[in-house]
A and B are shown apart, each in its own frame.
Chain A
Amino acid sequence: MTKEQIKQTIIEQILEIAPDIEEDEIIPDENLQRSLEIDSFDFLRVLTELYEKLGVEVPEADYGKVDTLEHMTDYFAQRHK
């Protein structure tokens, strides 16, 4: 899977959880939870779905590395096989 495909997969999951968000509202370098009002419960759901799709588990200690769309894409791209 290319980095672009990974990014699209992440966007799809976010839109699934928050259907009222428009794709262009997701600013790549903004904190996802704060800017899109995603609570901890929904954030965990996004990560769980991404684990099912991409096979990469994000431990809690790494939450700081997946705080924006950009960081999250990098994180999954590096670990995805």
Chain B
Amino acid sequence: MSKFLMPSLGADMESAVLMEWMVKEGDHVTKGQVVAEVETSKGVIEIEVFEEGIVEKIMVDPETECDVGTPLAMIRSINEEPLKDEKKSVFKTVQPSPEAELEQEPVDEIEVPEENLQKRIKISPAARKKARELGVDLDALSSKAKGTIHISEVETAATLKGKAPVAEDGMRQAIAKAMSRSNTEIPHYYLSSSINMSPALEWLEQLNSKRSIKDRILPAALLIRAVVQAVEEIPELNGFWKDGSLHMSEAVNPGIAIALRKGGLITPALLNAQEMSLDKTMQALSDLISRTRAGKLRGSELTQQSITITNLGDLGVERVYGVIYPPQVALVGLGHIIETPWAENDALSVQKVMQATLAGDHRATDGRTGALFLDKLNQFLQRPEELL
């Protein structure tokens, strides 16, 4: 028999709200199975079990705030005897309250029977979260709102009620803590390199022109694939600084910085990216971005990042000097690809050029390691066909 505990989903997490159980007592669970959803400052996260067994007992009801390490359930291994005496008395059907269902609904529309017609509350996920934080009654708000309810309306409603919006935003606080720790503890070094992206982009355009729109590869996926390949050659940048030494990670789990619309940032991991082809990388990236925006990440994706990749290229930024997310030891920044004069082989031409930067933890590696990495990255991007 073992206890299934509230996991720590990041160094700064102290507690989370157990929102919903995906299993019930008596269910058989397998390693890696999602068993519950918890809500943290990073949104709703699916948490997994890491052993096989039978759910013997569920110890926490939905919508309960639990500290990290709180036992949530008892898991009995397959060959163990069930707990006989307790079983009947503790067994009860955990019925989430209607409110709980309303809050967890993954889609954006909730059916609410109202008066004589069926009316749906159309609300953005962020607005719903805000409404809960501020204690705004959605039914009342929806009767007045036209169309989809957005954050601004929720905030206005809260202000009218005399409840000022809560200044402390959980995600902002979590980012603040981690970044302060990083800048205090980690002696960063920064390197930057110009990479001619024309060959890779031309190659990608050729590839995409033969494909249906559904199978198109974005440059972002190609870049991630190239970073992963380069990291495999320079494994010192892929790992953790723990207890005064570098622990390299076998799996390459790049945390991909994904901005949430209207504030906040999450860097969930693309788990085991070293095993993915280019197509697989694109599919996994699509899936990861969609789930991040929908607030549907797994616990492992928030805890196992071994290096971070940040791409602010869409916003036109040319160079990104990132802050390493501890305990990781490196961050790769990819800038906006711009057309620029390029001298090569005694000739001047205009090429599409990207600035790749590396922020390294100087305790773990030296500039030379970082330089080798940027050189490898460049080499892979000059031979994109090898990234398939």
Across the interface, name the chain A residue whose C-beta is closest to B259: A39
Main secondary structure, interface of B, reads helix
Contact in complex: B108, A40 (CB < 8 Å): no
Contact in complex: A19, B314 (CB < 8 Å): no
New A-B contacts (13) at CB < 8 Å, excluding given A19-B108, A48-B213, A59-B208: A19-B125, A20-B126, A33-B314, A37-B261, A39-B314, A40-B218, A44-B213, A44-B216, A58-B213, A59-B209, A60-B205, A60-B208, A61-B205
Contact in complex: B148, A44 (CB < 8 Å): no
Give CA–CA (A20, B148) in the complex, Å: 9
Contact partner of A20 (CB less than 8 A), chosen from B150, B212, B213, is B150
A64 shortest CB reach to chain B, Å: 13
Q: Which residues of A contact B (CB under 8 A)?
A: 15, 18-20, 22-23, 33, 37, 39-41, 44, 47-48, 51, 57-61
The residues in B between 202 and 234 inclusive whose CB is less than 8 angstroms from any CB of A are 205, 208-209, 212-214, 216, 218-220
Residues of B within 8 A of A48 (CB): 213-214
Main secondary structure, interface of A, reads helix
Contact in complex: B212, A60 (CB < 8 Å): no
In the complex, whether B124 has a CB less than 8 A from a CB of chain A is: yes
B-side interface residues, number (CB < 8 Å) = 26
In the complex, whether B197 has a CB less than 8 A from a CB of chain A is: no
B150 shortest CB reach to chain A, Å: 6
In the complex, whether B73 has a CB less than 8 A from a CB of chain A is: no
6 cross-chain pairs, A with B, having the tightest CB-CB distances, nearest first: A19-B124, A39-B314, A57-B213, A51-B213, A20-B262, A20-B261
B210 shortest CB reach to chain A, Å: 10
Residues of A within 8 A of B289 (CB): 41
Residues of A within 8 A of B60 (CB): none
Residues of A within 8 A of B314 (CB): 33, 39-40
In the complex, whether B72 has a CB less than 8 A from a CB of chain A is: no
A58 shortest CB reach to chain B, Å: 7
In the complex, whether B286 has a CB less than 8 A from a CB of chain A is: yes
Residues of A within 8 A of B285 (CB): 41
In the complex, whether B74 has a CB less than 8 A from a CB of chain A is: no
B292 shortest CB reach to chain A, Å: 11
